[in-house]
Structure 1
Amino acid sequence: MMEVVLHDRATWRDHLLPLSYTRPVGNLRVGALTLQEKWCLIFDKPVFYHTETYLQDKFKAPDYDATSSFLVIRGNICPSVALIEVLRSLPVGTLLVKDDLWIAYHTQSWNDGHQLKHLKLVQYEDIVDVVAFPEDIFLLNAAQIVFDYNLLTDGKQSAGLSGTNVVLGTDLFIGEGVEAECCTFNTTTGPILIEDGAKIEEGSHLRGPIAIGKSARVKMGTKLYPNVTIGPGSVIGGEVNNTVLWGNSAKGHDGYLGCAVLGEGCNLGGGTGNSNMQNNWKTVSLFDYKNSAYRDTGQRKVGLFMGDYAMCGINSTLTTGCVIGTGAQLAISNIIPKFVPDFLWLTDYKSEGYDWVKFEEMLAHRMIVRGDAADETTLKILWEVFVRTKNRNEEFIKQRK
């Protein structure tokens, strides 16, 4: 028996903060599914995490003392048909690498697995897609939607749509209990996957590749351009392009969202819009938590990245390459700063740290409205992030004064 483990207990995961503060890298959503969900379907078995200690209560580790062998996959690797074929037959005692990057290793003993120098190198000759930085999520999203569409729909029958809808192309899959009337679905540019219980309201226009998660809601008159993932339980409205919502987040009103990634439990107030390109057409820099400095992404279009449970008020204006930390609350009439630390209250009148008790109260009120409660394990993770980010938060407040 072989256990499959996604590994990210390493410093490279910090490049993906704040998104990876509250989850392993393998729990990031790229395409319709999280990376871990893909590997579970591929291997038809549970896939475990070897991640930061404070995350392991929620994101389970394998039994390290088991007699099984361990196939350990780098947590930020996206699956492909070619890679799957190699991993299925990777011999025990070997390390799969692409140039200087290790992809996976197969070991009989967990302890031996950490002595990579003792493993036999196997060079991977094909292209490998790696989620190294936050922008890679939307850059790789279109290809992963196609991959997930094939993975999820193989051998399955799509439900039907009523005659009030217009469908262009053939790559449309409708789950059970989906509601959609008077909408257009253009799959000539890529597949569209609508999962169980989703609602697509009147006048919405979708152009693939697009993935709409379970019980998500696309509000009336929404325009979804290619390369959009709306995660389970999320609400979306307005104009959206090249964007991933992890799940249970809301941008329910008019406004533009592009080249963006939102974590879980986020909310963008009505009329909020983000910029994804600079007026000088230069490549966009993005705040990198690992280096505490701005990093040139090499991309000319980069929008918003928002950690879990961050929110902004109505008519918020988010600048190009904007990073908003976990739990941040924004109510500001000017352009929001390019970087806002975790658990910060930022208004026109003050900048202060979010009081933890008030944050818990907010989550309780949110549960009443949304019905998606943060359990005790999640609260412990958020508390750990709160503690870890306090110094950076306080430094930001000093600079604002």
Structure 2
Amino acid sequence: MAIFLFETPSLRRRFAPLTTNKPFVSLLSGGIPLLDKWNALNFDVGEVFIISESFLGTSFMPDYLEAGDFLIYCGRAPICATTIFYDCPTKPTSQGVGLLSKSTEEWPEREIMAVLLNKRIAVEAVREALFEDPDPNKALEKLLAPQQIQWSEAPRRNYYEYPKDLLEHLKADIDWTIELLKDEYELDLKALDDTNQVIGKHPVIIEKGAHISMSLLNTENGPIYLSRGVKVMEGCMLRGPLFLAGGTVLKMGTRIYGPVATGENCVLGGEIKNSIFHSGTNKGHEGYIGDSIIGAYCNFGAGSGGSNVKNTGGEVRVYDYETKGFREVGQKFGALVGDFTRIGVGTQLTTGSSIGTCCNLFGLEIPPKLVAPFSWGNGDNLVDYQIEKAIEHIKTWLGFKGVDLFDGEFQILNHIFEQTRRRG
């Protein structure tokens, strides 16, 4: 048996620009990708595959889903899979078995949550139903009709509906990440020497190979986890919950108010609150980032950052690529920033910004709230960031981290550029 996680166009659009160039399950959940958490569930069902848009080329997968395989909507939190497996039998019957979400005022249409198949079905047929039909849910239900599905309903809870949900779940996601890793790594029980000061009821967990000195740590609200290779320089003030993935560096005097989680090999500095930084991103200088989700391999120049509260204290609105309008997200929200984007020295992002993939923004004028992928310029004066230059600059920045673009990534970025560039 295997698990096939499927995305929908709606899910991908709602999480843009974070999902412009990668599947939803590549996003971080408490410091590790959501896909890793699906894999960690280990219900003895074999491999986990992703069915997404074809241009993403997610990975090798079989041509068919077989009887006994699970088809699961990946917008539900992985921890809820326990209910999926509990409600579905472990072997296929004469009928397929499936779960639908209960309708709500916000989501009146029942959506397919999970299906245990009892007949073979082509992966490409599932992808076509999801991404080539104007009503993916009905198209998928029609495709599954030969399975003679015995449907049941489950409440629509613990879903990732919008990016803000990743921040709202961040504390719990960090706790779950730490629980998953507790038996995997060797911890350094002597890493907290007497140059550091610790208060709080939750643990400070440090893997061997991490280093911290002359810092203040507060775990009253949650744990602090330093993965292998993390370096916390002198004078840092850290308030949990906090998860720093392998190779991440905190520059001298960094102030962090958890929950905060990073991917691997980030560099952070200045003042940071309630945010997620994907792998390879640098925000290593003074400047404030709060209530934000930053993509992979981004860079913030010295003094750059952004606002997370309006001067009026009113509702913050963020662009929703699904509705093609701005949606209220509460009184505090900073920015969504796509992968491979760079924010220049002193450039400030306005409250509720949505900055696309592969942008280069600079200067002292505030960029618009909504910036399309492959944008270059200062303030409102934005032009196309030509693909050849963008790739050249991305490779230079990746070189600082000792990594390079894969051919597949290059093809993905070319596809996005062709789909989004300005034409006159």
Do both share a fold (TM > 0.5)? Answer: yes
1:105 has 2:81 as partner: no
User: Which of these residues, 239, 259, 270, is aligned with residue 291 of structure 2?
Assistant: 259
- Report the counterpart of residue 29 of structure 2 in structure 1: 30
For 1:78-97, list aligned pairs within 5 A.
Answer: 78-80=77-79, 83-87=81-85, 90-91=88-89, 92=92, 93-97=96-100
Q: Report which stretch shifted further, 366-375 or 247-256.
A: 366-375
Provide the rounded CA distance (Å) in 2 between the counterparts of 1:193 and 1:101: 37
CA contact (8 A) 1:230 1:236 kept: no
CA contact (8 A) 1:64 1:110 kept: no
For 1:1-400, list aligned pairs within 5 A.
Answer: 2-43=1-42, 46-56=47-57, 59-60=58-59, 62-65=61-64, 67=66, 69-80=68-79, 83-87=81-85, 90-91=88-89, 92=92, 93-99=96-102, 100-111=110-121, 114-115=140-141, 116=144, 118-124=148-154, 128-154=157-183, 158-160=187-189, 161-163=191-193, 164-168=195-199, 169-297=201-329, 299-347=330-378, 350-390=381-421, 393-394=422-423
3-state secondary structure, aligned to 1:247: coil
3-state secondary structure, aligned to 1:176: coil
One-letter code of the match for 1:343?
F
Provide the rounded CA distance (Å) in 2 between the counterparts of 1:124 and 1:342: 37
3-state secondary structure, aligned to 1:97: strand
Q: Report which stretch shifted further, 288-297 or 257-266.
A: 288-297
One-letter code of the match for 2:235?
G
* Structure 2 alignment gaps of length 5 or more: 103-109, 127-139
Q: Report which stretch shifted further, 92-101 or 173-182.
A: 92-101
Provide the rounded CA distance (Å) in 2 between the counterparts of 1:64 and 1:215: 37
Provide the rounded CA distance (Å) in 2 between the counterparts of 1:308 and 1:109: 39
Alpha carbons of structure 1 residues 266 and 109: separation in structure 2 relative to 1, 3 Å: farther
Tell me how far 1:24 sits from its aligned partner: 0.6
- Report the counterpart of residue 134 of structure 2 in structure 1: none
Provide the rounded CA distance (Å) in 1 between the counterparts of 2:112 and 2:232: 42
Percent sequence identity is 27
Provide the rounded CA distance (Å) in 2 between the counterparts of 1:156 and 1:197: 12
CA contact (8 A) 1:70 1:109 kept: no
Alpha carbons of structure 1 residues 42 and 348: separation in structure 2 relative to 1, 3 Å: closer
Tell me how far 1:157 sits from its aligned partner: 5.3
Tell me how far 1:87 sits from its aligned partner: 2.1
* Structure 1 alignment gaps of length 5 or more: none
3-state secondary structure, aligned to 1:336: coil
Q: Report which stretch shifted further, 345-354 or 187-196.
A: 345-354
Tell me how far 1:367 sits from its aligned partner: 3.3
Alpha carbons of structure 1 residues 295 and 349: separation in structure 2 relative to 1, 3 Å: closer
CA-atom RMSD, angstroms?
A: 2.2
Q: Report which stretch shifted further, 370-379 or 319-328.
A: 370-379
Alpha carbons of structure 1 residues 292 and 42: separation in structure 2 relative to 1, 3 Å: same
Q: Report which stretch shifted further, 233-242 or 283-292.
A: 283-292
- Report the counterpart of residue 130 of structure 2 in structure 1: none
3-state secondary structure, aligned to 1:264: coil
Alpha carbons of structure 1 residues 110 and 175: separation in structure 2 relative to 1, 3 Å: farther
Alpha carbons of structure 1 residues 124 and 66: separation in structure 2 relative to 1, 3 Å: closer
3-state secondary structure, aligned to 1:373: coil
Deviation string, structure 1 residues 311-357 (Cα, Å, up to 9, x no partner): 11111111110010011110121222111111011226942101111
One-letter code of the match for 1:333?
L
Alpha carbons of structure 1 residues 89 and 290: separation in structure 2 relative to 1, 3 Å: closer
Provide the rounded CA distance (Å) in 2 between the counterparts of 1:48 and 1:373: 25
3-state secondary structure, aligned to 1:351: strand
Alpha carbons of structure 1 residues 314 and 290: separation in structure 2 relative to 1, 3 Å: same
Q: Report which stretch shifted further, 378-387 or 153-162.
A: 153-162
